[in-house]
Amino acid sequence: MIERRFSTRLLYTIAVPKPNLPMYSGDWVIWFAERQEQNKAGRIQAPLPHRKFQPVGKIRQEVLQGWVQVALVITKEGKPDSATVLTPAAPEVATAALQDLLSWQFHPAMRNGQPIDVDAVVEIPFGTAR
C-alpha cells in the first residue's frame, strides 16, 4: 500500500524513536516523498516530530491499542495537514489518531537547506509495548 501511494516518486523512510509518552508502545515509522519533484539534486532531510501541543482527546487509554497509519502532508512550516487514516480502525481510534498527529509540530523536511512540503505516511503504535 505504501509503495502504491508513492509509485512515481522517490520514497524515503525513517524510524523515529518512541516518544517519551505513555500512549505510544514503540517507534514511529515515517514514509515520505517530496510533493513536487522539481530538482532531484541535493540531499533530503526527513521531517521529524518535535513538539506535541495537546494530549490525545478524552478517549480511554485501553481503547488505543495497535497501530494506525495516517497519510498527511507535512508542510514546509512543519505543520501536519490533510490527514486521513489508512488502516482499518474503530472510529474512536481513528479520530484519536488524527487528533493526536495533528497536534504535533514537525521540523520540516529539507532539501539543500530549504524547507519543503512532503507527502507522508506515519505509522503510530498505540497501547502497551508489543
Is 128 among the domain residues?
Answer: no
pLDDT tens readout for residues 61-108: 555 667 789 999 999 999 999 999 998 777 777 887 888 888 889 999
Does 36 score more than 90 pLDDT? no
Query: What pLDDT sits at residue 14?
Result: 94
| Three-class DSSP category at 85 | strand
Among 66, 58, 57, CA closest to 128:
66
Cell match 517530496: residue? Answer: 34
In a domain, 127, yes or no: no
Task: For residue 87, tell me if it sits in a domain.
Answer: yes
**DSSP letter, residue 24:** B
In a domain, 107, yes or no: yes
Q: Which amino acid is at 119?
A: D
Q: How many domains does the chain have?
A: 1
**What is the residue range of 37's domain?**
2-121
Domain membership flag for residue 72: yes
* Cβ pair 85, 98 in contact under 8 A: yes
What is the pTM (predicted TM-score) of this model?
A: 0.83
Lowest mean pLDDT among 37-41, 53-57, 71-75: 53-57
Domain annotation covers residue 55: yes
